[in-house]
Structure 1
Amino acid sequence: MTGDWRYRLARNRGTLLAFGIFLAMFTIYVLNHPAGFTANVVQTATNKGVLLAFVAMAQALVVITAGIDLSVGMIFILTNCLASWIVVGTPLQTALGVAGVLAAGLACGALNGAIVIYGRLQPIVATIATGAIYFGIALWLRPYPGGSVNEGLADALTGKLFGIVPASLAVLAGAVLIVWAPFSRSVLGRAAYAAGSAEPAGYMSGIPIRPAKFMAYALGGLLASIGGLFLTFFTYTGEAAFASGNAYTLFSIAAVVLGGVSLYGGTGSGVGAIFGALAFRTIGDLLFVFDLDPLWQPLFQGVVLLVAVSLGAFGLLRVRSRLEWFR
Structure 2
Amino acid sequence: MKGKAGIRRWLLQNLGFATAVLLFIVLFATYNVLHPRGFSSAVAIQNSNETVAIAFVAMAQTLPVLLGGLDLSVGAVMTLTNCVASELLYGSPAQILLGVLLTLMTGAAFGLMNGCIVVYGRIQPIIATLATGAIAIGLALLIRPKPGGKVDDDLSWALTNSVYDLADTYGFADGGNAWWLRPFADIPVPVILVLLVAFVVWVPFRRSVTGRTVYAIGSAEGAAYMSGLPIHRAKIAAFTLGGFLAACGGLYLAIQTSSGNADIQQAGAYTLNSIAAVVLGGTSLLGGVGGAIGSLFGAMILRVISFYFRILDIDPLLQPLIEGVVLLLAVSFGAFRTLRVKNQLDLFR
TM-score (norm 2): 0.91
- 1:156 is matched with 158
| Separation of aligned partners in 2, 1:155 and 1:197 | 44
| Separation of aligned partners in 2, 1:10 and 1:207 | 27
Unmatched segments (≥5 aa) in structure 2 = 165-184
| Separation of aligned partners in 2, 1:172 and 1:241 | 24
* Runs of 4 or more consecutive aligned structure 1 residues displaced over 6 Å after TM superposition: none
TM-score (norm 1): 0.97
Question: Which among 312, 318, 321 is matched to residue 296 of structure 1?
Answer: 318
TM-aligned CA deviation for residue 314 of structure 1: 3.8
Question: Which among 50, 75, 78 is matched to residue 76 of structure 1?
Answer: 78
308 and 125 in structure 1: CA distance in 2 versus 1, 3 angstrom threshold? closer
TM-aligned CA deviation for residue 49 of structure 1: 0.9
| Separation of aligned partners in 2, 1:200 and 1:315 | 23
- 1:186 is matched with 208
Report how many aligned residue pairs link the two structures: 327
| Separation of aligned partners in 1, 2:122 and 2:227 | 21
TM-aligned CA deviation for residue 323 of structure 1: 2.4
| Separation of aligned partners in 1, 2:6 and 2:37 | 44
1:100-122 superposed Cα distances (whole Å, 9 cap, x missing partner): 00000100000000001111011
For the residue of structure 2 that corresponds to 1:29, the secondary structure is helix
Root-mean-square deviation (Å): 1.3
Unmatched segments (≥5 aa) in structure 1 = none
1:114-137 superposed Cα distances (whole Å, 9 cap, x missing partner): 001111011111101100101000
| Separation of aligned partners in 2, 1:16 and 1:47 | 24
| Separation of aligned partners in 1, 2:144 and 2:29 | 39
- 2:47 is matched with 45
CA contact under 8 A between 1:75 and 1:224: conserved in structure 2? yes
CA contact under 8 A between 1:114 and 1:214: conserved in structure 2? yes
CA contact under 8 A between 1:52 and 1:252: conserved in structure 2? yes
- 2:189 is matched with 167
TM-aligned CA deviation for residue 317 of structure 1: 3.9
Q: How does 1:6-155 map to 2 (within 5 A)?
A: 6-155=8-157
1:211-260 superposed Cα distances (whole Å, 9 cap, x missing partner): 11111100000000010011001110011000000000000001111111
Percent identical residues? 50
| Separation of aligned partners in 2, 1:320 and 1:113 | 33
Question: For the pair shown, which has the larger CA radius of gyration, 1 or 2?
Answer: 2
Amino acid aligned to 1:304? V
| Separation of aligned partners in 2, 1:164 and 1:317 | 45
Question: Which among 271, 280, 285 is matched to residue 258 of structure 1?
Answer: 280
1:306-325 superposed Cα distances (whole Å, 9 cap, x missing partner): 22333444443432223222
Q: How does 1:145-294 map to 2 (within 5 A)?
A: 145-162=147-164, 163-294=185-316
| Separation of aligned partners in 2, 1:136 and 1:107 | 16
- 2:169 is matched with none
